[in-house]
Amino acid sequence: MKIAFIGLGNMGAPMALNLAQAGHQVTGFDTAARSDGLTLADSAAAAASDADVVITMLPNGQILRTVADQVIPAMKPGAVLCDCSTVDVDSARAVAQQAQAAGLAALDAPVSGGIGGAQAGTLTFMVGGPDDAFATVQPLFDIMGQKAVHCGDAGAGQAAKICNNMILGVTMIATCEAFALADKLGLDRQKMFDVVSTSSGYSWSMNAYCPAPGVGPKSPADNDYKPGFAAELMLKDLNLSQAAASSAGADTPMGALAQQLYHQFVEHEDGRGRDFSAMLPRFAGKNR
């Protein structure tokens, strides 16, 4: 397949390289980043003009809309636009409509799995958009990831992503504040892990990504809280879930509180550039 890959940052570059290494003809474009091993075009439109599938991996919905304005008029009939960025549901739906009006199909296909998953080709894709476009891109999802779930119509992939990450933000905070409480009650962190990881308080945050250094499987806590998944990316996703909740009229008080705490941590404390699990030293260092 001929593939255009727009946005060759931390995630996009390894995803594009995996496609090229699997034998696809990949043409990349990025306004700043360069990637060894890929053929590069001079513009997003030039990369897209000959492609069967145009993949985007960009910072946010505003930039996605700008890039969509550039690539959609350049794409050939029958081509599919597949956005893998994490963006707001409204931008995903607007881009899908724009593509449809131009006679093209679009998918929103955000990912879970982080930079490690992008490099290893083990991402999970959550996908919104038409069946035939999903079928066209599925072989590429299979190269870049281990699983692709077709969640529904346009925007359903982004909806799944922000709901998942709202749960993640809330459970990470709950896990961190429980460890900080355990400390103050004199309960050993390893004992706390041994109990909770096999009791009803277990979660991915506790069992797979334990925020306490030296406890549970290796995680960013064991690497001085270097990301991993940066606190500011968690804040971005919580901002998206709260924006979606307010436009859909959903009541998400725990999501709102998690957003507030990550905002405080990133903007007014030392959270920027640290893993999102560094909420544990934050709570442990505070007294009521």
The residues assigned a catalytic role are 161
Report the C-alpha gap between 171 and 153 in whole angstroms.
28
Pick one of 3, 4, 6, 235: the residue that binds ligand NAD (CB under 6 A): 6
Stretch that binds ligand NAD, among 26-34, 185-193, 211-219, 245-253 (CB under 6 A): 26-34
Residue-level length of the chain: 288
Taken in order 262, 268, 273, 275, is the CA torsion positive or negative?
negative
Asked if residue 152 binds ligand NAD (CB under 6 A), the reply is no
Q: Are the C-beta atoms of residues 14 and 117 closer than 8 Å to each other?
A: no
Q: Are the C-beta atoms of residues 30 and 12 closer than 8 Å to each other?
A: yes
Pick one of 22, 40, 115, 149: the residue that binds ligand NAD (CB under 6 A): 115
Pick one of 3, 38, 79, 111: the residue that binds ligand NAD (CB under 6 A): 111
CB nearer to ligand NAD: pick between 126 and 178: 126
Q: Are the C-beta atoms of residues 37 and 24 closer than 8 Å to each other?
A: no
Stretch that binds ligand NAD, among 4-12, 73-81, 129-137, 198-206 (CB under 6 A): 4-12
Pick one of 19, 30, 74, 129: the residue that binds ligand NAD (CB under 6 A): 30
Q: Classify burial at 286, counting beta carbons within 10 Å of its beta carbon; exposed 0-12, middle 13-18, buried 19 or more.
A: exposed
Report the C-alpha gap between 170 and 249 in whole angstroms.
20
Q: Are the C-beta atoms of residues 74 and 129 closer than 8 Å to each other?
A: no
Report the C-alpha gap between 25 and 1 in whole angstroms.
6
**53: β partners:** 3, 80
Give how many residues touch ligand NAD by CB under 6 A: 27
Asked if residue 10 binds ligand NAD (CB under 6 A), the reply is yes
Asked if residue 14 binds ligand NAD (CB under 6 A), the reply is no
Report the C-alpha gap between 162 and 154 in whole angstroms.
14
Pick one of 3, 12, 134, 144: the residue that binds ligand NAD (CB under 6 A): 12
Report the C-alpha gap between 108 and 235 in whole angstroms.
21
Asked if residue 244 binds ligand NAD (CB under 6 A), the reply is no
Asked if residue 247 binds ligand NAD (CB under 6 A), the reply is no
CB nearer to ligand NAD: pick between 6 and 180: 6
Pick one of 229, 265, 276, 283: the residue that binds ligand NAD (CB under 6 A): 229
Structure tokens belonging to residue 109: 């296909």
Asked if residue 220 binds ligand NAD (CB under 6 A), the reply is no
- Residues 54-93, one symbol each (x = binds ligand NAD by CB under 6 A, - = not), give ---xxx---x--xx-----------------xx-------
Q: Where are the alpha helices (DSSP H) in 112-230?
A: 114-120, 131-144, 156-184, 189-196, 204-207
* Nearest distance, CB of residue 87 and ligand NAD, angstroms: 6
* Nearest distance, CB of residue 133 and ligand NAD, angstroms: 20
Residue nearest to ligand NAD (CB): 9
Binding site for ligand NAD (CB under 6 A): 6-12, 29-33, 44, 57-59, 63, 66-67, 85-86, 111, 114-115, 229, 233, 236
